[in-house]
Structure 1
């Protein structure tokens, strides 16, 4: 689809070169500039779209919350198993002076 904008821009430039009317020249030049801008934006949109991630592969918030809870439960179980306590850091707080 972006290539059609390029063809429209070229046709507008041909029309601008072949006219003797100043008003028609300005309209053709504005149309050519707009079509060139649309062509560039279309190419950029295709490039961004081709590099974007698939939305179906993303995790929804409910599943993410469930996975975080499972990871936290595993971390706490591992900390309790190794005898580090509930914090899981293995360090003791220093007394205040």
Structure 2
């Protein structure tokens, strides 16, 4: 739950930094706040993109390990040789 709210927190902090930058009379503070707002907006966008990529990523438990792949290849090869020895044309 905490990771979901983090990008929105960056957006709120960026808006607060913009507000301080527009209200201040100090040029140094305004520049600092504008740079902070830019960085926070960038963090917000990157957080949203990370959430989107994370939601579409594949589950690691569904991946096949090398032993399982080898077993499946051997089964397919045995099926192919069984079909060839029976005289059936391939793909029939």
Question: What TM-score comes out, normalization by structure 1 length?
Answer: 0.82
Runs of 4 or more above 4 Å deviation: none
Match of 1:18 in 2: 23
RMSD: 1.5
Determine whether 1:39 maps to 2:44.
yes
Q: Would you tell me which structure has more helix in proportion to its own residues?
A: 2
- Which structure has more relative contact order (CA 8 Å, sep 6+)? It is 2
Gap runs ≥5 in structure 2: 1-5
Q: Of the candidates 69, 75, 80, which is equivalent to residue 80 of structure 2?
A: 75
Gap runs ≥5 in structure 1: 90-97
CA distance in 1, matches of 2:67, 2:9: 44
Per the alignment, in what secondary structure is the counterpart of residue 72 of structure 1? helix
Match of 1:54 in 2: 59
Max Rg structure = 1
Question: What TM-score comes out, normalization by structure 2 length?
Answer: 0.86
Per the alignment, in what secondary structure is the counterpart of residue 82 of structure 1? coil
